[in-house]
């Protein structure tokens, strides 16, 4: 697949992803390793929490988003390298059986002042569930190389 | 361990964590599942990238940070529930063999205007490696319940 340099990106471009289904076992395994809180670990314990049932860790949503993004057509030449985030939130939880997909849109493209061989691309990635409800909104600034002369 | 309500938090309080060591195998396994890019997957392939050698995915650093935070003394009564982030960046990569620990500091505490039973706590969590170099800086706004009357 073609890799993209700074000059290939333009404001308004969009990128879609494949789909990824999350089941209860994986939600609990992820939580046991990285976010061992009752509402991510056990259906029964989750009933009496603010989630009212088992919910994926927000960090699980974030890492599944990264997986979908890496496998999408969004392909900066040196890889997906985050310089920082302008926005990052989880408007609703991911539930067992949810199927996620992404829509990414380029919001800004600019050369770097300090590094002439590089630029920055600002991209908003929205992660949707199968009902087209957003479960994560992430606005990231990424380092992207300029096309070699 | 005592769980904390909004009234128990105050600006300037700090929380420390235990330590967690990251090895090359775990870096590669995590990347294979969530961030399959060459600099996270393979020592040889990583040599010719911007990282100049195997580096953990930033999302791996983030999830290890969450693990350390959940196991620390920072213990809001309803769990660690993110409302959003003011800052989130990775000043340097985590390398194989690094040992991570956290320092968290409360930056703001305020009641919620829309939800009288809740408040928001702003906490900066810095993740350090064994050389006390910051590898992640995260400023999060968390929902914390008020103490029941």
Share of chain A above pLDDT 90, in %: 89
Query: Which whole number is the average pLDDT over B66-78?
Result: 95
- How confident is residue B61, by pLDDT bands cut at 50, 70 and 90? very high
- Is the pLDDT score of A95 beyond 60? yes
- How confident is residue A82, by pLDDT bands cut at 50, 70 and 90? confident
Q: What is the pLDDT of residues B5-22, one digit of tens each?
A: 999 999 999 999 999 999
How far B89 CA lies from chain A's nearest CA (Å)?
Answer: 5
Q: Do B49 and A80 touch (CB under 8 A)?
A: no
Q: For chain A, give the longest Cα–Cα distance.
A: 60
Return the ∠ at Cα A49 (arms to A46 and A53), rounded to 5°.
40
The full 3-state SS of B84-123, as one line of letters, equals: EEEEEECCCCCCCCCEEEEEEEEEEEEECCCCCCEEEEEE
Neighboring chain B residues of A63 at a CB cutoff of 8 Å: 33-35, 59, 63
Q: What is the pLDDT of residues B84-114, one digit of tens each?
A: 899 999 999 999 999 999 999 999 999 988 8
pLDDT for A130: 98
pLDDT for A47: 94
Q: Is B35 in CB contact (< 8 Å) with chain A?
A: yes
- How confident is residue B1, by pLDDT bands cut at 50, 70 and 90? low
Q: Do B79 and A34 touch (CB under 8 A)?
A: no
Q: Is B64 in CB contact (< 8 Å) with chain A?
A: yes
Neighboring chain A residues of B62 at a CB cutoff of 8 Å: 59, 62
How far A34 CA lies from chain B's nearest CA (Å)?
Answer: 5
- Is the pLDDT score of B2 beyond 80? no
Cα(B117)–Cα(B109) distance, integer angstroms? 14
Q: Is A103 in CB contact (< 8 Å) with chain B?
A: no
Q: Output the CA–CA distances (angstroms, integers) from residue B28 to A94, B39, B42, B51, B96, in the order listed.
A: 25, 9, 7, 15, 10
Q: Is A84 in CB contact (< 8 Å) with chain B?
A: yes
Q: What is the pTM of this model?
A: 0.95
Q: Is B83 in CB contact (< 8 Å) with chain A?
A: yes
Establish, for the pair of chains A and B, how many residue pairs have beta carbons separated by less than 8 Å. Answer: 79
pLDDT for A115: 87
- Is the pLDDT score of A1 beyond 60? no
Q: Which chain A residue is nearest to residue B87, measuring alpha carbons?
A: A85
Q: What is the pLDDT of residues B19-53, one digit of tens each?
A: 999 999 999 999 999 999 999 999 999 998 989 99
pLDDT for A2: 75
Tell me how crowded residue B129 is: count the other CB atoms within 10 A of its CB: 20
- Is the pLDDT score of B146 beyond 90? yes
DSSP letter (8 states) at residue B4: B
pLDDT for A3: 85
Q: Do A88 and B88 touch (CB under 8 A)?
A: yes
């Amino acid at each position: 697949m073609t890799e993209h340099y700074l000059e290939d990106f333009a404001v308004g471009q969009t990128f879609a992803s494949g789909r990824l289904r999350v089941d209860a076992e994986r939600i609990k395994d992820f939580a046991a390793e990285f976010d061992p809180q009752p509402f991510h670990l056990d259906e029964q314990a989750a009933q009496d929490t603010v989630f009212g049932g088992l919910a994926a860790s927000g960090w699980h949503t974030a890492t599944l988003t990264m997986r979908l993004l890496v496998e999408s057509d969004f392909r900066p030449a040196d890889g997906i390298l985050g310089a920082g985030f302008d926005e990052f939130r989880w408007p609703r939880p991911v539930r067992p059986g949810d199927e996620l997909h992404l829509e990414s849109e380029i919001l800004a493209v600019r050369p770097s002042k300090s590094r002439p061989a590089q630029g920055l691309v600002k991209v908003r990635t929205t992660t949707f569930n199968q009902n087209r409800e957003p479960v994560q909104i992430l606005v990231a600034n990424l380092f992207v190389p300029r096309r070699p002369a």
